[in-house]
Amino acid sequence: MGAAGDRQNHGKKPCAHLAFLASGAPEAEESRQRLIEKYGDCPPEEADCIVALGGDGLMLRTLHRFMDAGKPIYGMNRGSVGFLMNQYRETGLRKRIAEAKPSIIHPLLMHAVNVRGDEFSAHAINEVSLLRQTSQIAKLRILVNGQERLPELVTDGVLVSTPAGSTAYNLSANGPILPLDAPLMALTPISAFRPRRWHGALLPDLAKVRIEVLEAAKRPVSVVADHDEFRDLAYVDVVMDHATSLILLHDAGHSLEERILREQFGY
């Protein structure tokens, strides 16, 4: 995770130029037009801050789209769950953005190879998940930093999660919630059959995780990195990409760090 100094320095410059993006839902598009009339609009490449109007899906797509731009993203909920978003309000937007708390997150970088030797790479802000493709249960071998840690996991799948994504699919699979600034990744099985008592592991965010597919022809496995899916895997490598920093802005008292902490207490 980013250092405290990063949190203090990002997102504090005046946001004179805003770019508004919407999810495509009617409510989000109507809100975008009203906000453009009030604050103006500029191309995202020229903006000081990008304002995303929609739900968490739009926020993830926006973060992926501008992953290398280094621009702060301020989301307002015009979707359903909106865990990553701020409350929608049209007044005082520039002041809210100027006073917002930045959260610095790093994505996972996945490198996958399929049974034909084709190679694929993708980033994941939430998690990289491996899932069985057919009725045949998956058999996986797990290595951490080149050392075998689990010779055979018989399961529906397994995932590697960032702290920011630990309240998403990871939590639904009974994985641990990670504080945003914890230098950790969660390795969590999905409906594990053997070994039954293995509930996952917490790994340093400098670790390299390799997941190999055993009996790949009989038990095909796919991998999903947020929205990108690749099938018929041979193996997957996952690391935290510390060279890439994403900046999310949240209103004071409602930071991403605070929201994740609240999830641990069930409210």
SS3 content of the chain, % helix, strand, coil (to 5): 20, 40, 40
172 labelled ligand-binding: yes
196 labelled ligand-binding: no
5 labelled ligand-binding: no
156 labelled ligand-binding: yes
Alpha helices in the chain (DSSP H): 4-9, 26-39, 56-65, 93-99, 169-172, 256-263
Residue 251, sorted as left (phi over 0), alpha (psi -120 to 50) or beta, turns out to be: beta
168 labelled ligand-binding: yes
Amino acid at 13: K
Query: Does residue 160 contact residue 142 with C-beta atoms inside 8 Å?
Result: no
235 labelled ligand-binding: no
126 labelled ligand-binding: yes
DSSP-assigned beta bridge partners for residue 204: 184
57 labelled ligand-binding: yes
Residue 172 backbone phi and psi in degrees, to 5: -65, -30
- Distance (Å, rounded) from C-alpha 173 to C-alpha 188? 7
Amino acid at 94: R
169 labelled ligand-binding: yes
Handedness of CA 173, 176, 181, 187 (dihedral sign): negative
**How far from 104 is each of 19, 88, 113, 223, CA to CA, in Å?**
20, 22, 30, 26
77 labelled ligand-binding: no
255 labelled ligand-binding: no
170 labelled ligand-binding: yes
Catalytic site positions: 56
- Distance (Å, rounded) from C-alpha 168 to C-alpha 166? 6
188 labelled ligand-binding: no
Known binding residues: 56-57, 61, 126-127, 156, 164, 167-172
Known binding residues for NAD(+): 56-57, 61, 126-127, 156, 164, 167-172
